[in-house]
Amino acid sequence: MNVAPSSADTPRATAATAIILAAGEGTRMKSSHAKVVHQVLDRPMVRWVVDAVRAAGCGRILVVVGSHADEVRAALAQEPGVECVEQERRLGTGHAVRVAVEGAGVTEGPVLVVCGDTPLLRGETLAALVGAAATEPGGALLTMTYADPTGYGRVMVGADGHAARIVEQKDATPAEAACTTCNAGVYCFDAASLRAHIGELTQENAQHEFYLTDMVQLLARAGTPMRAIECPDADELMGVNSRSQLARATRAMQGRINAALMDAGVTMLDPSQVWVGPDVRVGRDTTLLPLTMLYGATTVGSDCVIGPNTRLTDTVVGDRSVLDETVAIGATVDDDVSCGPRAYLRPGAHLMDGSKAGTHVEIKNSTIGRGSKVPHLSYIGDTQMGEGVNIGAGSITCNYDGRDKHRTTIGDGVFVGSDTMMVAPVSIGDGATVGAGSVITRDVPAGALALERSEQRTVPGWLPRWKRDAQKGAPEA
């Protein structure tokens, strides 16, 4: 009989627990906000790190919070399954890890420690570290070589590839400081040996902190050294401690995302002037022109031209649409649509196939039917517009009476003359025509002409009379 081994017989590989350190003050940022909530593209740094540990297959994800804890918790609110552990007193990276393993009861399996300020980390890199650590008694850590190692801990690596100890910049002798092998702050420990020795850390150093980096020497002395693994892409391990480094990290992430988009068939006139968030999708043969930002859950189809000077957030664009100098938030733009220059599409704006929102046009919570056009200087809000409608320049749906919002309905094939005010709630039937300059306060039936305009007065022969009066001069007082 062929019996599969029961789970009790097979040693089950425990998924690694991730600990993300995010409690520090971040003083070098000179900010009133937590360092790890500063954004790289449209995402707080700490969320990039959460994505990376999740991609590496970590089971539990613990984030150590402390300084500006509420802000960090809020930044993580949409991340499912992330547990925050409070480090009340910031006594150093070693203390932070101790608080996490003891506070969250981490007793077995691999423990992956990363910093919340290293947003460029890749999931594959972390997975490879966890894999390599599995065959080492003391686990493993990542190193990188920087020509200018200023600010990083220096890793003293023995001939056998094991790390002997890490010296922080502030504690380093000139000879140690000359070492260019830097500590990435990314470690994979075994939970049991980490817990066995973490209590031995002391604050005897320049910063009077419990350094996590000292675990390397403690484990080596205990006969269970950590392996140092050099990461080929040193940029990936860059820690962000200052605004300049934040800008560098943003540029690196932008380069990474834009290269992938170009590889997938997206054209960019100048990729250094296009910023695309990690969840955005862009179809083939779409061109992204300079000063364009695509953020949130934005999707753009094929053969579109987006930009210049365009920002789309949580917006869905179909195929062959042109969005020139457009700002769109929570909008839907179907196929063959033309927007801008200077269009503003607000939440709930839906431009159906072949429609147009032209120059200085704002549309909110409204559907613009197939082939309908709002070409110039208009506001359309809370409106259901049918197909083939033409809205003349300067027309406005007056949707707000100072207290409540009301809807406007415009049927198929309606022609609205320029400078028309449609005072909602109001409805204009299919095929109706509204004369220019009208203030429409009552429903217009299908096929009707509505005109609301005071009668024009014309005085023939006005000019010679006016000149004659002027020559006589003003009557003497």
By the rule CB under 6 A, 381 interacts with ligand UD1: no
By the rule CB under 6 A, 236 interacts with ligand UD1: no
Tokens of 23: 């409690």
Q: Closer to ligand UD1 at the Cβ: 238 or 288?
A: 238
153 binds, among Ca ion, ligand UD1, none (CB under 5 to 8 A by kind): ligand UD1
By the rule CB under 6 A, 87 interacts with ligand UD1: yes
Site for ligand UD1 in 124-163 (CB under 6 A): 152-153
Q: Site for ligand UD1 (CB under 6 A): which residue of 19, 50, 112, 182?
A: 182
By the rule CB under 6 A, 212 interacts with ligand UD1: yes
List Cα–Cα distances, 307 to 10, 106, 326, in angstroms. Answer: 57, 50, 7
Q: Closer to ligand UD1 at the Cβ: 21 or 424?
A: 21
376 is catalytic: yes
Q: What angle do CA 472, 476, 477 make, to 5 degrees?
A: 150
By the rule CB under 6 A, 187 interacts with ligand UD1: no
Give the C-alpha separation, 45 to 357, whole Å.
36
Give the C-alpha separation, 263 to 251, whole Å.
18
Q: Residue 132: CA atoms inside 13 Å, Cβ hemisphere, count?
A: 19
Contact present, 442 and 426 (Cβ < 8 Å): yes
Q: Closer to ligand UD1 at the Cβ: 52 or 389?
A: 52
Tokens of 61: 């994800």
Give me the catalytic one of 33, 360, 376, 406: 376
Give the C-alpha separation, 292 to 249, whole Å.
19
Which amino acid does the sequence have at 460?
P
80 preceded by cis ω (within 30°)?
no
Q: Which residues contact 68 (CB under 8 A, 6 or more apart)?
A: 33, 34, 37
Q: Closer to ligand UD1 at the Cβ: 169 or 359?
A: 169
Beta bridge partners of 143: 183, 230
Note the residue count of the chain. 477
**Binding map of Ca ion across residues 229-248, x = CB under 5 A, - = no contact:** ----------x-x-------
**Binding map of ligand UD1 across residues 416-455, x = CB under 6 A, - = no contact:** ----------------------------------------
386 binds, among Ca ion, ligand UD1, none (CB under 5 to 8 A by kind): none
Give the nearest distance from C-beta 73 to ligand UD1 in angstroms. 14
Dihedral angle of Cα 470, 471, 475, 477, to the nearest 10 degrees: 100
Give the nearest distance from C-beta 118 to Ca ion in angstroms. 7
* Region from 16-24, 251-259, 418-426, 456-464 binding ligand UD1, contact rule CB under 6 A: 16-24
Beta bridge partners of 44: 39
119 binds, among ligand UD1, Ca ion, none (CB under 5 to 8 A by kind): none
Instruction: Please choose, from the candidates 398, 394, 393, the residue with its C-alpha nearest in 3D space to the C-alpha of residue 382.
Output: 398
Q: Site for ligand UD1 (CB under 6 A): which residue of 47, 85, 111, 117?
A: 117
By the rule CB under 5 A, 308 interacts with Ca ion: no
Burial of 214 (0-12, 13-18, 19+ CB in 10 A): buried
By the rule CB under 6 A, 119 interacts with ligand UD1: no
Instruction: Please choose, from the candidates 368, 388, 369, the residue with its C-alpha nearest in 3D space to the C-alpha of residue 378.
Output: 368
At residue 353, the 3 state secondary structure works out as coil
Output phi, psi for 269, to 5 deg.
Answer: -65, -40
One DSSP character per residue, 206-234 reads TT-S--GGGHHHHHHHTT-PEEEEE-S-G
Give the nearest distance from C-beta 218 to ligand UD1 in angstroms. 14
What is the bridge-based pairing of β-strands 162-167 and 154-157?
A: antiparallel
307 binds, among ligand UD1, Ca ion, none (CB under 5 to 8 A by kind): none
Count of residues of this chain found to bind Ca ion when the rule CB under 5 A is applied = 3
363 binds, among ligand UD1, Ca ion, none (CB under 5 to 8 A by kind): none
Site for ligand UD1 in 237-256 (CB under 6 A): 239, 241
Q: Site for ligand UD1 (CB under 6 A): which residue of 16, 18, 23, 343?
A: 23
Q: Site for ligand UD1 (CB under 6 A): which residue of 16, 58, 91, 215?
A: 91
Q: Closer to ligand UD1 at the Cβ: 241 or 390?
A: 241
At residue 154, the 3 state secondary structure works out as strand
The catalytic residue positions are 376
* Interface contacts to ligand UD1, rule CB under 6 A: 21-24, 64, 66, 87, 90-93, 95-96, 115-117, 152-153, 166, 168, 182-185, 211-213, 239, 241
* Interface contacts to Ca ion, rule CB under 5 A: 117, 239, 241
